[in-house]
Structure 1
Amino acid sequence: MSNFEDNQYLTFKIGEETFGIGLLNVKEILEYTHVTTVPMMPSFIPGVINLRGNVVPVLDVSDKFFKKKHSPDKRTCIVIVEVPESVNGARMDIGLIVESVYEVLSIPSAEIEPPPTFGSRIRVDFLSGMARQSSGFILLLNLIRLLTVEELTALEETRDEATHLTSSNAV
């Protein structure tokens, strides 16, 4: 059972590229919604959303990888993923703004190659591998390396502050 699930990937579009995330890390897919701006965050972190009472930081993947902000449209989604290891060792939910979600694919391990050492338009340390498909490659994201330790620390502090503010306002 785990072998089958481990090879399942949610695929989505960012810019001209198709990306994939291990399905076990995906918690849910939301229609794009208003993101509350948080001061002093990097440009690729436009803010946070309230997800059933939980503050979830949101990352604009297009801005992070290509330095090009994505203008949301009707196909834009926020994919809620669980980052396996954050700064304090706990898991952390992050929303990824993606242009459109494609499908869930089963990709056999034999079809996954290591990331290239050159020639990619994004930093290869963000990738866990590349899956060859008839239409080209699917770039498989490494969620642990998507953000630096400093960025994760800033996100956790922002989430904690926003959680504190919303809970103290509720009183």
Structure 2
Amino acid sequence: MELIITDTSETMASWLAKPYLNEETRKLLTGVDAMIVPQENFRDYEIPLFPSNLMVFYDILKAHLKVEAAINEEDYREVSLNSRMHRYGKTIVHAIAIPIFVGVVSNLISELLKQDLDDEVEIEVIIQHNPGKSTSVKYQGPIIGFNQVATKIKEIAYNGNSREHRTDTTKSTNESSSK
């Protein structure tokens, strides 16, 4: 349904500075290609949370990239929301690793397409171009719309510029298919 692209100050360095991370976790996170970050301040929860089943996503990514979750092992918690939405949370990815990351996520989502076309996906990818510049790409919508998002993520990683915008991808998909 919706694709939102914005410049952001969120970087791997800003997450390494989180007060709830211990020194061991910070060392583990240093030098990763991708960092899966928790959602802070979710509803009434004071602790950082990850979407349910995130470890499956983590294991798939881990087979292809150096990836870690930005949380102390003993503090890892998931929140389960019942819906037909596949939630992958937020991942900060170095621009150089975007082609591999997008390929892995696209394959995972293609498998979901085989199961049910009516399901939706929610994901945020923060492309870290350099230590001080990042671009956030948030998508929430039909699984089938993710191909457009994957193309946009790669384009931003290659070009290094976001041109902030918001798109109703459902409308865009319907308009382009009727032409």
- Structure 2-normalised TM-score? 0.22
* Greater helix share, structure number: 2
Which one scores higher on RCO, CA 8 angstroms, separation ≥ 6?
2
- Structure 1-normalised TM-score? 0.23
* Greater strand share, structure number: 1
